[in-house]
Structure 1
Amino acid sequence: MTNIGEDQSTTLPRRQLGRYLKDARLAVGLKLEDVAPLMQWSASKLSRIESGKSPAIRVLDVEALCRIYEIDDPEVSAGLLGLAKQSTGTSWWQAFDDVISGNFDLYVGLESSAQQLSMFQPHIVAGLLQTPAYARAVEQGYYSDISEQELERRIQLRIKRQSLLNRKFKPVAVDFVIHESALWTVVGNGKVMAAQCHHLANLPVNVEVRVLPYDAGFPAGLPTGPFAILDFGTDSKGRETSPTVVYVELYAGDLYLERRKDVARYRQAYSATLKAALDVPDSKRRLRQIAREHER
């Protein structure tokens, strides 16, 4: 295993390390309950480390786990130690913990690590693709008593997230399907909506926006609600760098799904939605047409 020099502002090193440690534990036939007491941990703490949800793990602890799991290959142990060191890096979104609610910081971390995002939004433009004016109107509508300072912080967070789209090294690839009704639903005012539609039509080539027209019905059979599929690429041996995650937005709390059958179900739903949507050129034309209507 090689030490992957991933940006320290992502959650990917923690997820990679956790996956490798879990594989090593299973390879020697040990259960969480067997290993945790040896580390003076609870089984739940070890489980969090293996799922990449623990904020950090000490290098000394990884060295101890390597001994328990009988990892004697210097390259493998060096790779694990390297990932442990990377996992302690400070994430950029920690500076916005005053405006990130719930466990959305988990999504931001996953988003910053992803190589491919496949998103469907039936009601609203995804935050990653919102203009500042649209984002401002959304936040003011959701938080009726929000202060101007907090409002600006929330918009800054949106803008910081959007740097993924324009970075020089491996900008994230995005496939975004939005229902036509979301483009007609006025957020802010007509001027805001016109600018937002033009923005969606003029995004860089790594972002493909498709419009799901009214007459497409429900391509997946039933309404799915908004969701995003996050893929993290493969390593030099063609293995998943980190398991695919499906993020499902709910009003009362969000879901993060990793089970293969759940991921497969959402991939199938997204594939059906993608096929029913307008292609990219027709979507651009529809977006510009709707923008002109909002400008009237």
Structure 2
Amino acid sequence: MTSPEEDGPSSTLPRRQLGRFLRDRREAAGFIIAQAAKSVDLSRAVLQRIETGQIQKVRKQDVQALCELYDVGPEDTRAAVDLAVQARAKSWYHVYGGLYGNAFTMYVGLEAAAHRLTTYHEQTIPGLLQTDDYARAIIGAFPGFTSPDDVDRRVEHRMKRQALVTRRTNPVQMDVLLHVSVLYRVIGSPTTIAAQLRHLAEMSKQPNITLRIQPNSAGLTWGMPRGSFIIMDFGRTAKAGSVEPPVVFIEGGAAQDVYLEKPEEVRLYSELATAIQETCLGEVESRNLLRRVAKEHELGER
């Protein structure tokens, strides 16, 4: 029986995230790559390979030294060192168990680097398109968040993430697929969900967003149950000069989040997304449905 460390290839995700983090911190600190490498006794080529996620066994002492050079705080430094450790583990690629704090989560880092997000949801509106009140109702419902300040901080963070969609320069492209049940799930109050659906209808008019609703009449695509998923495509990065392979993220809810990066797994979910899209209403029909259901919520509250 093989041990986890011997079972299959190692994941590229931790080292890609580590490289992205170190590159961003270097640039924020005002170092060119040659200066930073010399300061921590690395060659320029080695540091460049670390920043592009091409070295599996990154030494913890090198990460520590780079974080000190870039004046990274202790929490993020610990998280970066953890990533260096995880990059060595060949069993890592199946799940991510919440190893890092709010300042350094795997998903947020990948989301921020993505060029396109293809997302399917059947429970809630995607976080990047949520209103403040809708997000507050979801986050505040979690029993672990008992402090109002804790909820406020998380809502604020979610709203700041939305700059990825609304920024003028290179906003992330979003292909949003929603099951119609999301529209009727009352989160917060009828007023809250009505405002959320109207906001969604307006956002769907943005050139970088396509949104389609899958009606109940579509049945069960491929005849199998499924949860929500997000396909993250990264494209060619100008800084790294390479193409990062896509990743599928499946939110675990009360369990562990799952990341899939094997080509055959990503291809399967891409084909599933296409199959779902083929059963959806058109963009205009979907927008009209959002507004119609929003009005139903408003009338029902009177």
The alignment's TM-score, normalised by the length of structure 2, stands at: 0.68
Which residue number in structure 1 is paired with residue 294 of structure 2? 291
Rounded to whole Å, the distance in 2 between the matches of 1:253 and 1:222 is 21
SS in structure 1 at match of 2:278: helix
Q: 1:102 Cα shift?
A: 2.0
Rounded to whole Å, the distance in 1 between the matches of 2:11 and 2:122 is 38
Distance 1:144 1:50, change over 3 A: closer
Unaligned runs of 5+ in 2: 24-35, 54-65, 80-96
Amino acid corresponding to residue 98 of structure 2 in structure 1: G
Supply the RMSD in Å over aligned alpha carbons. 3.6
Amino acid corresponding to residue 219 of structure 1 in structure 2: T
Contact residue 16 and residue 51 of structure 2 kept, 8 A: no
Q: 1:243 Cα shift?
A: 1.1
Which residue number in structure 1 is paired with residue 245 of structure 2? 243
Contact residue 135 and residue 155 of structure 2 kept, 8 A: yes
Contact residue 232 and residue 243 of structure 1 kept, 8 A: yes
Q: 1:111 Cα shift?
A: 0.3
Amino acid corresponding to residue 206 of structure 1 in structure 2: N
The alignment's TM-score, normalised by the length of structure 1, stands at: 0.69
Contact residue 212 and residue 276 of structure 1 kept, 8 A: yes
Unaligned runs of 5+ in 1: 1-31, 34-43, 67-76
Cα shift readout 1:13-53 (whole Å, capped 9, x = no counterpart)? xxxxxxxxxxxxxxxxxxx99xxxxxxxxxx9998875544
Q: Is it true that 1:257 corresponds to 2:260 in the alignment?
A: yes
Matches within 5 A, 1:147-166: 147-166=147-166
SS in structure 2 at match of 1:209: strand
Which residue number in structure 2 is paired with residue 198 of structure 1? 198
Rounded to whole Å, the distance in 2 between the matches of 1:151 and 1:206 is 29
Rounded to whole Å, the distance in 1 between the matches of 2:201 and 2:126 is 14
1:102 to 85, 90, 98: 98
Q: 1:281 Cα shift?
A: 0.6
SS in structure 2 at match of 1:202: helix
Contact residue 251 and residue 258 of structure 2 kept, 8 A: yes
Which residue number in structure 2 is paired with residue 29 of structure 1? none
SS in structure 2 at match of 1:255: strand
Identity %: 32
Rounded to whole Å, the distance in 2 between the matches of 1:146 and 1:133 is 17
Amino acid corresponding to residue 262 of structure 1 in structure 2: E
SS in structure 2 at match of 1:136: helix
Rounded to whole Å, the distance in 2 between the matches of 1:51 and 1:79 is 12
1:276 to 275, 279, 283: 279
Contact residue 62 and residue 80 of structure 1 kept, 8 A: no
